[in-house]
Chain A
Amino acid sequence: MKKIDLELAVGIFLLIGILSIGYLSVKLGHLDLTGKRGYTIHAEFEKAGGIKPGAVVEIAGVEVGSIKNIRLNNNAALIELTLDDTVKIHDDAIASIKTKGLIGEKFIQITPGGSENILPTGGKIRDTESAVDIEELISKFVFGKV
Protein backbone atom coordinates (compact mmCIF):
# COMPACT_ATOMS: atom_id res chain seq x y z
CA MET A 1 0.00 0.00 0.00
CA LYS A 2 2.71 2.41 1.06
CA LYS A 3 4.84 1.43 -1.90
CA ILE A 4 2.13 2.49 -4.36
CA ASP A 5 1.84 5.90 -2.67
CA LEU A 6 5.56 6.49 -3.10
CA GLU A 7 5.43 5.53 -6.77
CA LEU A 8 2.48 7.81 -7.31
CA ALA A 9 4.29 10.72 -5.66
CA VAL A 10 7.37 10.18 -7.84
CA GLY A 11 5.16 9.95 -10.91
CA ILE A 12 3.37 13.21 -10.13
CA PHE A 13 6.66 14.91 -9.34
CA LEU A 14 8.10 13.80 -12.66
CA LEU A 15 5.02 14.94 -14.52
CA ILE A 16 5.27 18.40 -12.95
CA GLY A 17 8.95 18.47 -13.88
CA ILE A 18 8.26 17.64 -17.51
CA LEU A 19 5.50 20.21 -17.72
CA SER A 20 7.80 22.87 -16.28
CA ILE A 21 10.50 22.05 -18.80
CA GLY A 22 7.91 22.25 -21.58
CA TYR A 23 6.70 25.61 -20.34
CA LEU A 24 10.26 26.90 -20.09
CA SER A 25 11.19 25.87 -23.61
CA VAL A 26 8.04 27.46 -25.05
CA LYS A 27 8.72 30.70 -23.14
CA LEU A 28 12.44 30.91 -23.86
CA GLY A 29 12.13 29.83 -27.47
CA HIS A 30 9.41 32.45 -28.11
CA LEU A 31 7.23 29.69 -29.49
CA ASP A 32 3.74 30.72 -30.35
CA LEU A 33 1.57 27.67 -29.74
CA THR A 34 -1.82 29.31 -29.98
CA GLY A 35 -0.88 31.27 -33.10
CA LYS A 36 -3.64 33.73 -32.34
CA ARG A 37 -1.60 36.71 -31.23
CA GLY A 38 -1.24 39.44 -33.80
CA TYR A 39 -1.79 39.57 -37.54
CA THR A 40 0.49 39.03 -40.50
CA ILE A 41 1.65 41.41 -43.20
CA HIS A 42 4.35 41.11 -45.84
CA ALA A 43 7.21 43.27 -46.99
CA GLU A 44 9.50 42.68 -49.92
CA PHE A 45 13.14 43.67 -49.71
CA GLU A 46 15.82 43.60 -52.34
CA LYS A 47 18.37 42.40 -49.80
CA ALA A 48 17.53 40.80 -46.49
CA GLY A 49 21.08 41.34 -45.29
CA GLY A 50 21.15 38.35 -42.95
CA ILE A 51 18.07 39.20 -40.91
CA LYS A 52 16.60 36.11 -39.22
CA PRO A 53 13.11 34.91 -38.30
CA GLY A 54 12.31 36.05 -34.79
CA ALA A 55 14.00 39.42 -35.30
CA VAL A 56 12.18 42.40 -33.83
CA VAL A 57 9.89 44.83 -35.66
CA GLU A 58 9.96 48.33 -34.22
CA ILE A 59 8.05 51.57 -34.58
CA ALA A 60 9.75 54.55 -32.96
CA GLY A 61 12.01 52.14 -31.10
CA VAL A 62 9.10 50.25 -29.55
CA GLU A 63 8.74 46.54 -30.26
CA VAL A 64 5.47 45.89 -32.07
CA GLY A 65 6.04 42.46 -33.59
CA SER A 66 8.52 40.03 -35.04
CA ILE A 67 9.58 38.30 -38.23
CA LYS A 68 7.75 35.05 -38.79
CA ASN A 69 9.23 33.85 -42.03
CA ILE A 70 11.65 34.81 -44.79
CA ARG A 71 11.68 33.34 -48.27
CA LEU A 72 12.90 34.07 -51.75
CA ASN A 73 10.34 35.44 -54.17
CA ASN A 74 11.37 36.58 -57.67
CA ASN A 75 14.94 37.09 -56.51
CA ALA A 76 13.79 39.34 -53.71
CA ALA A 77 13.38 38.59 -50.01
CA LEU A 78 9.74 38.28 -48.99
CA ILE A 79 9.47 38.75 -45.25
CA GLU A 80 6.39 37.83 -43.25
CA LEU A 81 5.83 39.99 -40.18
CA THR A 82 3.57 39.30 -37.24
CA LEU A 83 2.35 42.51 -35.65
CA ASP A 84 0.36 43.17 -32.50
CA ASP A 85 -3.35 43.64 -33.09
CA THR A 86 -3.30 47.11 -31.58
CA VAL A 87 -0.82 48.36 -34.18
CA LYS A 88 -2.28 49.75 -37.38
CA ILE A 89 -0.05 50.24 -40.41
CA HIS A 90 -0.98 52.67 -43.20
CA ASP A 91 -0.28 51.53 -46.73
CA ASP A 92 2.32 54.24 -47.30
CA ALA A 93 4.45 53.16 -44.35
CA ILE A 94 8.11 52.47 -45.08
CA ALA A 95 9.85 49.37 -43.73
CA SER A 96 13.63 49.43 -43.42
CA ILE A 97 16.12 46.83 -42.32
CA LYS A 98 18.38 48.46 -39.76
CA THR A 99 21.28 47.40 -37.61
CA LYS A 100 21.52 48.06 -33.88
CA GLY A 101 24.72 50.01 -33.56
CA LEU A 102 27.41 49.48 -36.15
CA ILE A 103 27.64 45.69 -36.00
CA GLY A 104 24.67 44.79 -33.81
CA GLU A 105 21.69 42.61 -34.60
CA LYS A 106 19.36 43.39 -37.49
CA PHE A 107 15.79 44.52 -37.01
CA ILE A 108 12.96 46.01 -39.05
CA GLN A 109 11.93 49.57 -38.48
CA ILE A 110 8.60 50.81 -39.73
CA THR A 111 8.19 54.53 -40.31
CA PRO A 112 4.44 55.16 -40.11
CA GLY A 113 2.71 56.82 -43.02
CA GLY A 114 -0.36 58.98 -43.14
CA SER A 115 -2.57 57.72 -45.96
CA GLU A 116 -6.26 56.90 -45.62
CA ASN A 117 -5.79 53.16 -46.14
CA ILE A 118 -4.85 50.79 -43.36
CA LEU A 119 -3.14 47.56 -44.35
CA PRO A 120 -5.37 44.49 -43.90
CA THR A 121 -4.16 41.11 -42.68
CA GLY A 122 -1.95 39.66 -45.40
CA GLY A 123 -1.35 43.12 -46.87
CA LYS A 124 2.00 44.26 -48.15
CA ILE A 125 4.19 47.20 -47.25
CA ARG A 126 5.14 48.44 -50.67
CA ASP A 127 7.93 50.84 -49.80
CA THR A 128 10.98 49.25 -48.29
CA GLU A 129 14.61 50.05 -47.73
CA SER A 130 17.01 47.13 -47.84
CA ALA A 131 19.87 46.60 -45.49
CA VAL A 132 22.65 49.05 -46.28
CA ASP A 133 25.72 47.07 -47.15
CA ILE A 134 28.43 48.93 -45.30
CA GLU A 135 31.23 46.85 -46.81
CA GLU A 136 30.01 47.66 -50.29
CA LEU A 137 29.87 51.36 -49.47
CA ILE A 138 33.37 51.28 -48.00
CA SER A 139 34.71 49.47 -51.04
CA LYS A 140 33.27 52.18 -53.24
CA PHE A 141 35.20 54.75 -51.27
CA VAL A 142 38.35 52.70 -51.11
CA PHE A 143 38.53 51.62 -54.72
CA GLY A 144 36.38 54.30 -56.25
CA LYS A 145 38.85 57.11 -56.58
CA VAL A 146 41.09 56.57 -59.57
Chain B
Amino acid sequence: MIKSKLSLALLALIAVFSLAWLPLRADAGEPTNQVKETVDAVMNILNDKELRKPEKQKERRTLIRQTIIKRFDFEEMAKRSLAAHWKDRTPAEQKEFVALYSDLLENTYIRKIERYENEKVVYYDEKLDGDYAVVKTKIIKKEGISIPVEYRILRKKDKWEVYDIIIEGISLVNNYRTQFTQIIRSGSYNDLVKRLREKVIK
Protein backbone atom coordinates (compact mmCIF):
# COMPACT_ATOMS: atom_id res chain seq x y z
CA MET B 1 0.00 0.00 0.00
CA ILE B 2 2.69 2.43 1.05
CA LYS B 3 4.86 1.27 -1.78
CA SER B 4 2.22 1.92 -4.41
CA LYS B 5 1.58 5.37 -2.97
CA LEU B 6 5.25 6.09 -3.09
CA SER B 7 5.60 4.98 -6.68
CA LEU B 8 2.53 7.05 -7.58
CA ALA B 9 4.11 10.11 -6.02
CA LEU B 10 7.31 9.39 -7.87
CA LEU B 11 5.44 9.05 -11.13
CA ALA B 12 3.69 12.35 -10.52
CA LEU B 13 7.02 13.97 -9.79
CA ILE B 14 8.53 12.63 -12.98
CA ALA B 15 5.51 13.84 -14.93
CA VAL B 16 5.86 17.34 -13.52
CA PHE B 17 9.56 17.45 -14.27
CA SER B 18 9.21 16.20 -17.80
CA LEU B 19 6.51 18.80 -18.42
CA ALA B 20 8.76 21.54 -17.11
CA TRP B 21 11.50 20.22 -19.31
CA LEU B 22 9.47 20.32 -22.52
CA PRO B 23 9.36 24.03 -23.32
CA LEU B 24 13.06 24.26 -22.56
CA ARG B 25 13.83 21.57 -25.06
CA ALA B 26 11.69 23.17 -27.73
CA ASP B 27 13.67 26.37 -27.20
CA ALA B 28 17.11 24.93 -27.74
CA GLY B 29 18.53 25.94 -31.08
CA GLU B 30 15.89 28.58 -31.74
CA PRO B 31 18.31 31.54 -31.36
CA THR B 32 20.74 29.89 -33.77
CA ASN B 33 17.96 29.17 -36.24
CA GLN B 34 16.77 32.75 -36.24
CA VAL B 35 20.26 34.18 -36.63
CA LYS B 36 21.00 31.66 -39.35
CA GLU B 37 17.86 32.64 -41.21
CA THR B 38 18.99 36.26 -41.39
CA VAL B 39 22.63 35.52 -42.18
CA ASP B 40 21.58 33.11 -44.94
CA ALA B 41 19.21 35.68 -46.39
CA VAL B 42 22.00 38.27 -46.50
CA MET B 43 24.38 35.72 -48.03
CA ASN B 44 21.81 34.93 -50.72
CA ILE B 45 21.54 38.60 -51.62
CA LEU B 46 25.32 38.90 -51.70
CA ASN B 47 25.74 35.85 -53.88
CA ASP B 48 22.99 36.83 -56.30
CA LYS B 49 24.77 37.46 -59.60
CA GLU B 50 21.91 39.53 -60.97
CA LEU B 51 22.08 41.97 -58.07
CA ARG B 52 25.84 42.33 -58.33
CA LYS B 53 25.59 44.46 -61.48
CA PRO B 54 26.66 48.08 -60.83
CA GLU B 55 23.29 49.55 -61.78
CA LYS B 56 21.60 47.43 -59.13
CA GLN B 57 23.88 48.54 -56.32
CA LYS B 58 21.24 50.67 -54.66
CA GLU B 59 18.61 47.98 -54.80
CA ARG B 60 21.06 45.49 -53.33
CA ARG B 61 21.90 47.82 -50.46
CA THR B 62 18.23 48.37 -49.66
CA LEU B 63 17.59 44.64 -49.69
CA ILE B 64 20.48 43.98 -47.30
CA ARG B 65 19.30 46.76 -45.03
CA GLN B 66 15.76 45.45 -44.89
CA THR B 67 16.94 41.95 -44.06
CA ILE B 68 19.24 43.12 -41.30
CA ILE B 69 16.72 45.48 -39.69
CA LYS B 70 14.38 42.57 -39.09
CA ARG B 71 16.88 40.82 -36.85
CA PHE B 72 18.91 43.65 -35.30
CA ASP B 73 17.48 45.73 -32.51
CA PHE B 74 19.04 49.08 -33.32
CA GLU B 75 17.21 50.80 -30.49
CA GLU B 76 18.66 48.41 -27.93
CA MET B 77 22.12 48.79 -29.48
CA ALA B 78 21.86 52.58 -29.42
CA LYS B 79 20.64 52.50 -25.83
CA ARG B 80 23.47 50.26 -24.72
CA SER B 81 26.02 52.36 -26.60
CA LEU B 82 24.89 55.56 -24.91
CA ALA B 83 24.76 53.68 -21.58
CA ALA B 84 24.28 56.09 -18.66
CA HIS B 85 23.53 59.02 -20.95
CA TRP B 86 20.48 57.38 -22.51
CA LYS B 87 18.28 58.14 -19.51
CA ASP B 88 19.11 61.85 -19.63
CA ARG B 89 17.70 62.22 -23.13
CA THR B 90 14.14 63.15 -23.97
CA PRO B 91 12.10 60.61 -25.98
CA ALA B 92 12.45 62.80 -29.08
CA GLU B 93 16.24 62.93 -28.67
CA GLN B 94 16.34 59.18 -28.15
CA LYS B 95 14.41 58.63 -31.33
CA GLU B 96 16.69 60.91 -33.29
CA PHE B 97 19.73 59.20 -31.83
CA VAL B 98 18.50 55.74 -32.79
CA ALA B 99 17.98 56.94 -36.37
CA LEU B 100 21.48 58.45 -36.52
CA TYR B 101 23.02 55.39 -34.95
CA SER B 102 21.34 53.02 -37.41
CA ASP B 103 22.60 55.15 -40.29
CA LEU B 104 26.09 55.09 -38.84
CA LEU B 105 26.09 51.30 -38.55
CA GLU B 106 24.67 50.99 -41.99
CA ASN B 107 27.30 53.23 -43.55
CA THR B 108 30.13 51.54 -41.73
CA TYR B 109 29.12 47.91 -41.96
CA ILE B 110 26.84 47.39 -44.94
CA ARG B 111 29.56 48.76 -47.19
CA LYS B 112 31.98 46.26 -45.69
CA ILE B 113 29.53 43.39 -45.97
CA GLU B 114 28.92 44.25 -49.62
CA ARG B 115 32.45 43.30 -50.54
CA TYR B 116 32.16 39.80 -49.14
CA GLU B 117 31.62 36.92 -51.47
CA ASN B 118 31.66 33.16 -51.23
CA GLU B 119 32.29 33.19 -47.52
CA LYS B 120 31.02 30.29 -45.49
CA VAL B 121 29.48 30.62 -42.06
CA VAL B 122 29.80 27.89 -39.45
CA TYR B 123 27.58 27.83 -36.35
CA TYR B 124 29.46 26.05 -33.63
CA ASP B 125 27.96 26.99 -30.29
CA GLU B 126 24.94 28.47 -28.60
CA LYS B 127 24.42 29.51 -25.00
CA LEU B 128 21.04 30.18 -23.53
CA ASP B 129 20.45 32.08 -20.31
CA GLY B 130 16.85 33.07 -19.71
CA ASP B 131 15.89 35.72 -22.24
CA TYR B 132 19.48 36.13 -23.35
CA ALA B 133 21.47 33.98 -25.72
CA VAL B 134 24.82 33.92 -27.47
CA VAL B 135 25.25 32.40 -30.90
CA LYS B 136 28.84 31.71 -31.85
CA THR B 137 29.78 31.55 -35.49
CA LYS B 138 32.84 31.58 -37.65
CA ILE B 139 33.14 33.15 -41.04
CA ILE B 140 35.46 31.06 -43.18
CA LYS B 141 37.04 33.09 -45.94
CA LYS B 142 38.21 31.75 -49.25
CA GLU B 143 41.84 31.71 -48.16
CA GLY B 144 40.91 29.56 -45.20
CA ILE B 145 41.16 32.25 -42.52
CA SER B 146 38.36 32.06 -40.01
CA ILE B 147 36.94 35.07 -38.21
CA PRO B 148 35.01 34.41 -35.00
CA VAL B 149 31.73 36.34 -34.88
CA GLU B 150 29.47 36.17 -31.85
CA TYR B 151 25.89 37.39 -31.79
CA ARG B 152 24.44 38.48 -28.45
CA ILE B 153 20.71 38.22 -28.65
CA LEU B 154 17.73 39.07 -26.53
CA ARG B 155 14.26 37.58 -26.65
CA LYS B 156 11.43 39.99 -27.23
CA LYS B 157 8.24 37.97 -27.24
CA ASP B 158 8.89 35.20 -29.77
CA LYS B 159 11.57 36.97 -31.64
CA TRP B 160 15.25 36.91 -30.90
CA GLU B 161 16.92 40.22 -31.65
CA VAL B 162 20.62 40.95 -31.87
CA TYR B 163 21.84 43.64 -29.46
CA ASP B 164 25.60 43.24 -29.84
CA ILE B 165 28.11 41.63 -32.19
CA ILE B 166 31.52 40.49 -31.07
CA ILE B 167 33.99 40.19 -33.89
CA GLU B 168 37.41 38.74 -33.13
CA GLY B 169 36.67 39.23 -29.43
CA ILE B 170 35.83 42.93 -29.76
CA SER B 171 32.34 44.09 -28.86
CA LEU B 172 30.68 46.60 -31.16
CA VAL B 173 28.58 48.15 -28.40
CA ASN B 174 31.56 48.48 -26.07
CA ASN B 175 33.57 50.15 -28.82
CA TYR B 176 30.89 52.78 -29.36
CA ARG B 177 30.11 53.07 -25.65
CA THR B 178 33.72 54.02 -24.90
CA GLN B 179 33.85 56.52 -27.73
CA PHE B 180 30.46 58.11 -27.05
CA THR B 181 31.15 58.48 -23.33
CA GLN B 182 34.45 60.13 -24.11
CA ILE B 183 32.91 62.58 -26.59
CA ILE B 184 30.08 63.47 -24.21
CA ARG B 185 32.48 63.89 -21.31
CA SER B 186 34.88 66.16 -23.17
CA GLY B 187 32.08 68.11 -24.84
CA SER B 188 28.36 67.59 -24.71
CA TYR B 189 25.66 65.35 -26.09
CA ASN B 190 25.12 67.86 -28.90
CA ASP B 191 28.74 67.47 -29.97
CA LEU B 192 28.18 63.77 -30.31
CA VAL B 193 25.06 64.26 -32.42
CA LYS B 194 26.92 66.76 -34.58
CA ARG B 195 29.79 64.36 -35.16
CA LEU B 196 27.45 61.49 -35.93
CA ARG B 197 25.60 63.65 -38.42
CA GLU B 198 28.80 64.62 -40.20
CA LYS B 199 29.84 60.99 -40.33
CA VAL B 200 26.49 59.85 -41.69
CA ILE B 201 26.36 62.45 -44.44
CA LYS B 202 29.82 61.51 -45.73
The interface of chain A, by Cβ under 8 A from chain B, is 46-47, 74, 90, 92, 94, 96, 111-114, 126-127, 129-133, 137, 140, 144-146
The interface of chain B, by Cβ under 8 A from chain A, is 79-80, 82-87, 127, 129, 132, 143-145, 152, 164, 166, 168-171, 173-174, 177-178, 181
Inter-chain residue pair count (beta carbon < 8 A):
58
The residue from B83, B129, B145, B171 contacting A140, defined by CB atoms under 8 A apart: B145
* Residues from chain A with Cβ under 8 Å of B173 in the complex: 94, 127
> What separation, in Å, do the CA atoms of A137 and B177 have in the docked complex?
24
A-B contact pairs, 30 of them (CB 8 A): A47-B169, A90-B83, A90-B84, A92-B80, A92-B83, A94-B171, A94-B173, A94-B177, A96-B174, A111-B83, A111-B181, A113-B80, A113-B177, A114-B79, A114-B80, A114-B83, A114-B85, A126-B129, A126-B132, A127-B152, A127-B164, A127-B171, A127-B174, A129-B170, A131-B169, A132-B170, A133-B169, A144-B143, A144-B145, A146-B143
Would A111 and B177 count as touching, CB distance under 8 A?
A: yes
Q: Is the interface of A mostly helix, strand, loop or mixed?
A: loop
* Residues from chain B with Cβ under 8 Å of A126 in the complex: 129, 132, 152
